[in-house]
Amino acid sequence: MSVDVARGTGGRTCLAVDIGGTKMVAGLVTDEGEVVLRRQVPTRRDVTATELFDLLAGAVDEVLAAAGPRPAPVVVGVGCGGPMAPGGTEVSPLNIPAWRAFGLLEHLRAHTGLPTFVDNDAKALALGEGWVGAAAGVDDYLAMVVSTGVGGGIVLDGRLLDGAGGNAGHIGHVVVVPDGRRCVCGGVGCLEAEASGTAIAAVTGRPASEASDAVRRRTGTLVGRAVASVANLLDLRLALVAGSVALGYGEVFFAAARDEIDRLARLEYSRGTVIAPGGLGADGPLVGAAAVGWRGVSAADHRDPRR
């Protein structure tokens, strides 16, 4: 495929950062997609924007200190919940209230002294899956995260879709239940408002991990409904899903999603759309963040006439 991720050029490493609603992870990832170090801190909700960044910076510093004889990172790649400004210059993750129009890119660049690239975490996952995951060699697919929130990234004709502001693919805000729950985005009945871990906990009064089989099936059905809409709209037949809710719910979730896709994706080009777990497992967020970094390096190299 032609998703542009630089790789395999002699032992370089990327400082990869994944920022989610419950945890922030920093790691060291090679240009062949291998995670060799990681450090994790909680995404605290009782701190200021600066204090939250300081927590992240501490994890970054631990990774750099533990790198030892490994090659020092040459780039920082970040996957972060959205929405965000073009180029990731400012981020406003819906599940991180402390960060509104927060200059994450500039903060990390200043802290590390390295070229830094930021993108949506689910778009990052899409890059990673196409690089060394279950979509390697596939030119058209959707990658999703169903976890604390719900996000997505779309690759068409081998290219990651960015959109005018870099927010393309945000499947978490496709409406799946008309007149459903109010979403944190302000809409009603969004997939994130109905099928995210946060929504499930709010409705059931229990952690999403303790949901009944009925809730797990409903969650899969709603995700399948959104995937069918995307398949019908964009002429693709593969959806890869990661995240603690989807992977934790397992076959009950995926069977319900498959049934709903088969019921709703009936056009000749969307019939038979496959939904499956992402291929990167627990490494997916960091590999995806690294793919953002390597994609940025590749783009910069292509702009430089000396390369």
Question: What value does the mean pLDDT take over residues 23-47?
Answer: 96
pLDDT at 302 (0 to 100): 57
Q: Are 165 and 85 in contact (CB under 8 A)?
A: yes
Question: What value does the mean pLDDT take over residues 150-159?
Answer: 96
pLDDT at 68 (0 to 100): 86
pLDDT at 208 (0 to 100): 97
C-alpha–C-alpha distance, residues 88 and 181, integer Å: 29
Question: What value does the mean pLDDT take over residues 74-94?
Answer: 94
DSSP letters, 254-276, are HHHHHHHHHHH--STTTTT-EEE
C-alpha–C-alpha distance, residues 5 and 264, integer Å: 34
279 CB burial (10 A radius; 0-12, 13-18, 19+)? middle
Amino acid at 4: D
More confident residue, 214 or 298: 214
Amino acid at 274: V
The CA distances from residue 142 to 12, 175, 274, in Å, are 28, 17, 10
pLDDT at 69 (0 to 100): 87
Pure H helices in the chain: 49-66, 104-112, 121-132, 191-195, 197-204, 213-234, 244-264, 284-303
Q: With CA atoms as reference, report the closest residue to 105 among 134, 85, 127, 131.
A: 85
Is the pLDDT at 241 greater than 60, yes or no? yes
Helix (H, G, I), strand (E, B) or coil at 20: coil
Q: How confident is the model at residue 298 (pLDDT cuts 50, 70, 90)?
A: confident
Q: At what angle do helices 213-234 and 244-264 cross, to 10 degrees?
A: 60
Is the pLDDT at 1 greater than 70, yes or no? no
pLDDT at 292 (0 to 100): 97
- What's the pTM? 0.90
C-alpha–C-alpha distance, residues 284 and 3, integer Å: 17
The pLDDT tens digits of the residues spanning 97-126 come to 999 999 999 999 999 999 999 999 999 999
C-alpha–C-alpha distance, residues 289 and 123, integer Å: 9
Mean pLDDT (the chain) is 93
Q: From the centroid of its chain, how far is CA 148?
A: 12
The pLDDT tens digits of the residues spanning 36-65 come to 999 999 999 999 999 999 999 999 999 999
For the beta carbon of residue 267, count every other beta carbon within 10 angstroms.
Answer: 13
Is the pLDDT at 236 greater than 70, yes or no? yes
What are the structure tokens assigned to 283, written together? Answer: 């490494």
Q: From the centroid of its chain, how far is CA 196?
A: 14
For the beta carbon of residue 206, count every other beta carbon within 10 angstroms.
Answer: 12
The pLDDT tens digits of the residues spanning 95-104 come to 899 999 999 9
